[in-house]
Amino acid sequence: MVDISLECAIVGQPGTFDVTIDDGKKVSVLKNMIKDKNSTSITCDSKDLKLFLAKTDGGWMRDVDPAVLELTEGRIHPDAQTMIDGERMGKTRSIKDVLEENRMATPQSRQVHVVVVVPKAGVSLSGDNDGRSIQKFNKPIEFSELEHEGGVPSKFRTWRKATVAAIASLLDRIPVIIIRAPPLSGKTAMFDLLYNHIIRSEPNALVSRIRANRMAEDVKFADFFKLLDGCDFEAVCAHKGDRVVLIDEAQITYNDELLWRGYVKDTLDAQIPGLRFVLFSSYGSFDAYRKHERAGTPIRIPPQFTLGLNATPSKPGLQVSREELEEMVQNSIGASVSGLVWILCSGHIGIARAILRFLYCKFGSKTPNAEDIEMELRSVELLQYIHFSYRGIPTADAFQRVKKASGLSEESTLKMSEILNSVASGKVMLVSDEHQTPGSLTAVEYLTTYGFFLRRWISRQSWARRCGNGHCAFGWGDAHAPGGVDGKRLLRVEDD
């Protein structure tokens, strides 16, 4: 047996350190030595440490590899994630056995050989260690593996790995991200997927997820946070280390002054180092709260910190990619007509899922031919299914609710109806149009505030039809016109 020098890296801690050990010793002994060398930062029992060989493509990682540099900053590079998802170093085996079984060469200088993951249990949130600890942070979401979930095969799902990773990477340089989109556009699914990604890629960060729509009407964020996570949010702010808070349905919190003008603004202004927010906010949902709540954020969020449905060269969006759609439809009834599903959904993940649900309800476990499937996808029944199954669709009913809730005058209502009918016939409303009257502009502002239209930028500022990504929307006109459904029409709009 011989002594070997192992360069070790602890995820989330800067730098690396050396452990010299007889290669005949067991991995359990190596764990003890690692803890002894880091007794201040590692407070758990040594047996709870998780050790992984720092290998990539059959060789050792170099100390200058991006994966190694990110590990020491608390992030996990995809190469390192693949390694950590693999087999741990078994504690009952000798170091020599582990190296031989993995066909690893004798460790040399300028390499990293062992990656150490420290469990998070019992991390103190207060400087004086008064006993408060993280009780419910970083708990992974276990997605159902049932064959059918809510009457729909669980395989109608995409993990959106590329999109999730792109959004997560923004947190390296952006302290507050707000994702604004209508209902049915995949925000809540992204909320869950992003949460799981962050706790796995940043194991030393404290990550909390808050569903604001589960808060009682008069409850504020800080009180709800304490109820869920078992500690004061002030303690989280004071904690030394990375913290990420994800809030779904954040529009419900717009009247919470402490959250927005306190915690979020201070985070934007770099007053709380290490704290980051990801806020998922809905617009155009026609919920009753719109009578009383703000229609927009109480503070200004810089445009570069705001994501939406459409991706740009510098920012990801919620639109589903063709690859993600193929992941959703594989082994399903929709697989044979995925091209048509792609055209109909225009990259809108909620509509794509609705189409797959509709086909499953129509055909069940049968194997219909492509012609029968296409016939159903071109039917009025599909539009009715989407309309009656999903909230937030801007229908005639929604228009009447907005009119009543806002106390709109007959003049305003008439002008809004005229503009809706114009857009339903295919017209694009340009803000700079010289024929626009003040009344028309006011009506367009109303329709945008309540989510009937989505404001978009092209060569000039324009108003585009709204249903998710601006590609399609529900308007209303002649019920007998092509595509008409009970006085409502599904419109498809190409990008400008």
139 is a domain residue: no
Both 287 and 182 in one domain: the answer is yes
DSSP-derived 3-state class of residue 115? strand
Both 81 and 104 in one domain: the answer is yes
Average pLDDT estimate for 438-465: 58
CA angle 239–277–215, rounded 5-degree value: 95
271 in Cβ contact with 281 (< 8 Å): no
* CATH code for the domain in which residue 248 is found: 3.40.50
Q: Which residue shows structure tokens 């029992």?
A: 45
| Domain end (from 307, 335, 362) | 307
Both 255 and 347 in one domain: the answer is no
Both 270 and 170 in one domain: the answer is yes
Which pLDDT belongs to residue 126? 39
Both 15 and 98 in one domain: the answer is yes
The DSSP symbol for 42 reads -
**337-to-351, 359, 398 alpha-carbon distances in Å:** 15, 11, 32
Average pLDDT estimate for 249-254: 92
107 or 418: whose pLDDT is higher?
A: 107
Structural domain of residue 400, as residue ranges? 396-492
| Domain end (from 389, 406, 436) | 389
pLDDT of 58-92, one tens digit each? 689 888 777 777 776 656 666 676 677 667 888 88
Enter the pTM of the model. 0.59
**Amino acid at position 244, single letter:** V
Both 171 and 227 in one domain: the answer is yes
Which pLDDT belongs to residue 461? 34
| Domain end (from 66, 98, 117) | 117
Both 297 and 350 in one domain: the answer is no
Pairing of the two strands 148-149 and 152-153: antiparallel
Both 380 and 400 in one domain: the answer is no
pLDDT of 348-375, one tens digit each? 888 898 899 899 888 887 888 889 999 9
Sign for the pseudo-dihedral over CA of 98, 104, 105, 106: negative
Q: Which residue shows structure tokens 């109909």?
A: 344
* Tally of domains within the chain: 4
243 is a domain residue: yes
Residue 190 has pLDDT above 90, yes or no: yes
Which pLDDT belongs to residue 149? 44
307 or 334: whose pLDDT is higher?
A: 307
Shortest CA distance to 138 belongs to which of 302, 12, 28, 39?
A: 12
pLDDT of 400-438, one tens digit each? 766 776 677 888 888 888 888 777 666 766 655 555 666
Question: How many CB atoms are closer than 10 A to CB 358?
Answer: 22
* CATH code for the domain in which residue 414 is found: 1.10.10
Distance CA 58, CA 65 (A): 15
Residue 172 CB partners (closer than 8 Å, separation 6+): 75
Both 379 and 423 in one domain: the answer is no
Both 301 and 412 in one domain: the answer is no
Which pLDDT belongs to residue 486? 34
Both 36 and 105 in one domain: the answer is yes
* CATH code for the domain in which residue 53 is found: 3.10.20.90
140 is a domain residue: no
Beta bridge partners of 261: none
419, containing H or E segment: helix 410-424
Both 302 and 339 in one domain: the answer is no
